[in-house]
Chain A
Amino acid sequence: EAGVAQSPRYKIIEKRQSVAFWCNPISGHATLYWYQQILGQGPKLLIQFQNNGVVDDSQLPKDRFSAERLKGVDSTLKIQPAKLEDSAVYLCASSSPRGGGYTFGSGTRLTVV
């Protein structure tokens, strides 16, 4: 079974620039999550999708972050404009309809300079 695919693996941008991350979940997994993991901390949920609908985006900084999941499969997370404090690893995860354990991707490490 292929895992959760994320790209790019690394990204370095200057503050105020825009950046986008892509995630392809495990086939058949209806639920998709984006997490932000700041160095030295545990992952924090940004947004949860069920198919192509948003279930929870209460912790997503909507003034600069946006996410979409067209057709209920792939998802894109965008930051515009980026701030220094957005430097983190952005993890995508997916889970089957039964929930429980998730499968995480390897993440995208973003550095904002």
Chain B
Amino acid sequence: AQKVTQAQTEISVVEKEDVTLDCVYETRDTTYYLFWYKQPPSGELVFLIRRNSFDEQNEISGRYSWNFQKSTSSFNFTITASQVVDSAVYFCALSGGGSYIPTFGRGTSLIVHP
């Protein structure tokens, strides 16, 4: 069975602070994919990143960075110099067993105050 745990229900920061959203996963598959999605107040889910289980290289995209560590089954997401527009619910997700269909965590609500 696959499981994604996002222990942080809500995080509140002040603009320009750095913030890390935690994601811990469980899977028996040797090949799997990890995802992060952003859900702004408008409701749609915006794809941020997909990482396969064989690629543990950290990734940076602008103010966003992701740290994948198989040893601790974690795929954490850091926003540097947060902005008010980053306020949203962020979901970590996992797919495996030859399927691209993700199993989502419960999400972390990020509130960035001006």
A residues lining the B interface (CB < 8 Å): 3, 33, 40-45, 48, 56, 89, 91, 93, 95, 99-107, 109
Contact = CB atoms under 8 A, between A and B. Distances in A.
Contact of B91 (A33, A42, A45): A42
A41 B45 CA distance: 13
B106 interface: yes
B101 A100 contact: no
Query: Interface size for chain B: under 10, 10 to 19, 20 to 34, or 35 or more residues?
Result: 10 to 19
Given A43-B104, A95-B100, A104 B50 contact: no
Closest 9 CB pairs of A and B: A42-B104, A99-B100, A104-B45, A101-B47, A106-B44, A107-B43, A106-B43, A104-B44, A43-B104
B42 A106 contact: yes
A48 B101 contact: yes
Contact of B43 (A33, A89, A100, A101): A89
Given A95-B100, A100-B100, A101-B35, A40 B47 contact: no
Nearest to A31: B100
B112 to A, nearest CB: 20
Contacts of A101: 35, 47, 50
Interface in B1-47: 4, 33, 35, 37, 42-47
Given A42-B93, A101-B35, A33 B101 contact: yes
A98 to B, nearest CB: 9
A109 B42 CA distance: 11
B50 to A, nearest CB: 6
Given A42-B107, A100-B50, A105 B101 contact: no
